[in-house]
Amino acid sequence: MFVREKFGPKAHVFVCVNVRDDRTRSCCLRVGGEEVASALKEWVIAENLRDKVWVSRSKCLGFCNSVGATVVVYPQQKWFLQVTRESVPVLKEQIVALIR
Ligand code: FES
């Protein structure tokens, strides 16, 4: 095992892209999770924020719904629910506020 301490970004953004084959339950992939994750990754690269903001795709974060993806930012523990492609600009503003 190898341990690194005090290493990492100011904000690590997890975007749920979970998919369920069972169509009786919602999942973030079907409500735009991949689009949200891709948009955030492109933004981080374009704004040269890679040392401050990491974006990772995740499995289910427990707030499944039929509107938009679930996003959580650590270490701030700030949750964003029902995130759609249209709400990504506001999400970016919120992330910038978290890393100031
Ligand atoms: S499938 Fe995304 S929060 Fe559950």
- C-alpha 74/C-alpha 98 separation (Å) is 10
| Ordered domains of the chain (ranges, CATH) | 11-99 (3.40.30.10)
Asked if 13 contacts 61 with a C-beta cutoff of 8 angstroms, the reply is no
pLDDT for 42-79, tens place per residue?
Answer: 999 999 999 999 999 999 999 999 999 999 999 999 99
**pTM listed for this prediction:** 0.96
Q: Is the CB of 58 under 6 A from ligand 1?
A: no
Residue 72 DSSP class: E
- C-alpha 62/C-alpha 70 separation (Å) is 8
Cα 74 from chain centre: 10
Among 66, 70, 83, which residue has the most ligand 1 atoms within 8 Å of its CB, making it the best to mutate? 70
Among 15, 25, 27, 82, which residue has the most ligand 1 atoms within 8 Å of its CB, making it the best to mutate? 27
